């Protein structure tokens, strides 16, 4: 179990990237959902011991992460948002090199590790191909392979499916789900569907603070009977925003679909809809930003 207590990080320019973040993350898939710039990557880098926070505490099992970062690194797998490799090196040779860096020095053990991981992420058939020739999804699967070296008990993946086509996204998410059965996996993303599909527990972060957490199904249930939909002309949008709590909008065939939150039937042509995790996300961000602007 990963326990984060009152974690705060203030950059030199005064930006408060993390604001008293406290979370308890059990074994399995855990989703950290938030918009770009919300503090997700700062939190992931801090947990991964790549930067020290201004204040706070992190424990993983019996490891005090901030006091003994080297102990966490022995059991950590990390796939950052921007994962760089030597592009002209083959997948096999690159993974072999990373296994050496991870401390697997024995030739037979390293060979068995590399071959197992390449098969696990379905890259065995392209093991001799230079990583420069990999698709985005193949690169991400290679990234997971390197994160799994050494059988880590904590795995962090930061925005792993951004830019992937639907087929590669599904393949990657299936791989994550399989991995997450036995270890702690933190999935940091701004893509609601990734969390909805995979994570039995989650949190929403906005402007460096945790603003909502729980099981996705429970959070969706809390909005039951409160989400309403209407299709309007684009010219009507500003008036609707002034009158209702509009939580999301999208264009449909030249018109605008709006979702609003209301405890009672707003009338005026609105129809009730079953809320989803996307509505939870937008409702939470809307409420948080309204409070912060007040």
What pLDDT sits at residue 33?
95
206-231 pLDDT, tens digit each = 999 999 999 999 999 999 999 999 99
| Topology classification of domain 2-215 | Rossmann fold (3.40.50)
What pLDDT sits at residue 160?
83
pLDDT mean over 66-95: 88
> Is residue 10 very low, low, confident or very high in pLDDT (cuts 50, 70, 90)?
very high
Look at the chain and count its residues: 294
Cα distances (angstroms) measured from residue 110 to each of 82, 100, 116, 140, 240: 26, 8, 10, 21, 61
What pLDDT sits at residue 294?
62
Write out the DSSP string of 22-78. EEEE-SEEEEEE--TTSSHHHHHHHHTTSS--SEEEEEETTEETTT-HHHHHTTEEE
What pLDDT sits at residue 250?
93
Instruction: Provide, rounded to the nearest whole percent, the portion of the chain with pLDDT above 70.
Output: 99
What pLDDT sits at residue 158?
87
What pLDDT sits at residue 137?
84
What pLDDT sits at residue 152?
93
247-260 pLDDT, tens digit each = 999 998 889 999 99
**Which of 76-85, 145-154, 175-184, 243-252 comes out lowest in average pLDDT?**
76-85
Higher pLDDT, 170 or 260: 260
What pLDDT sits at residue 56?
97
11-50 pLDDT, tens digit each = 989 889 999 999 999 999 999 999 988 999 999 999 999 9
> Is residue 87 very low, low, confident or very high in pLDDT (cuts 50, 70, 90)?
confident
**Domain regions of the chain by residue span:** 2-215, 221-293
What pLDDT sits at residue 75?
93
What pLDDT sits at residue 31?
96
Q: Is 118 helix (H, G, I), strand (E, B) or coil?
A: helix
Please determine, for residue 57, whether its predicted confidence score (pLDDT) is greater than 90.
Answer: yes
What pLDDT sits at residue 43?
95
**Which backbone phi and psi does 123 adopt, to 5 degrees?**
-120, 10
């Amino acid at each position: 179990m990963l326990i984060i207590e009152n974690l705060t990080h203030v950059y030199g320019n005064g930006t408060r990237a993390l604001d008293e973040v406290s979370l308890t993350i059990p074994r399995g898939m855990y989703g950290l959902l938030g918009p770009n710039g919300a503090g997700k990557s700062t939190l992931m880098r801090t947990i991964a011991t790549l930067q020290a926070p201004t204040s706070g505490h992190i424990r993983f099992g019996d490891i005090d992460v901030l006091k003994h970062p080297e102990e966490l690194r022995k059991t950590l797998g990390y796939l950052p948002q921007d994962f760089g490799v030597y592009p002209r090196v083959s997948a096999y040779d690159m993974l072999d090199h990373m296994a050496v860096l991870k401390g697997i020095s024995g030739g037979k053990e390293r060979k068995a590790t590399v071959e197992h991981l390449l098969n696990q992420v379905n890259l065995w058939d392209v093991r001799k191909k230079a990583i420069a020739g990999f698709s985005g999804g193949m690169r991400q699967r290679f990234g997971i392979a390197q994160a799994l070296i050494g059988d880590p008990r904590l795995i962090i993946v930061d925005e792993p499916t951004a830019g992937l086509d639907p087929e590669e996204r599904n393949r990657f998410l299936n791989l994550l789900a399989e991995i997450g059965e036995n270890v702690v996996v933190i999935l940091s993303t701004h893509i609601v569907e990734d969390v909805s599909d995979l994570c039995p527990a989650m949190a929403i972060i906005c402007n460096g603070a945790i603003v909502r957490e729980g099981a996705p199904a429970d959070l969706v249930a809390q909005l039951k009977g409160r989400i309403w939909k209407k299709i309007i002309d684009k010219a009507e949008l500003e008036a609707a925003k002034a009158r209702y709590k509009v939580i999301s909008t999208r264009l449909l065939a030249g018109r605008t679909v709006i979702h609003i939150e209301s405890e009672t039937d707003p009338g005026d042509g609105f129809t009730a809809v079953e809320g989803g995790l996307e509505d939870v996300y937008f409702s939470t961000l809307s409420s948080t930003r309204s409070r912060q602007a007040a």
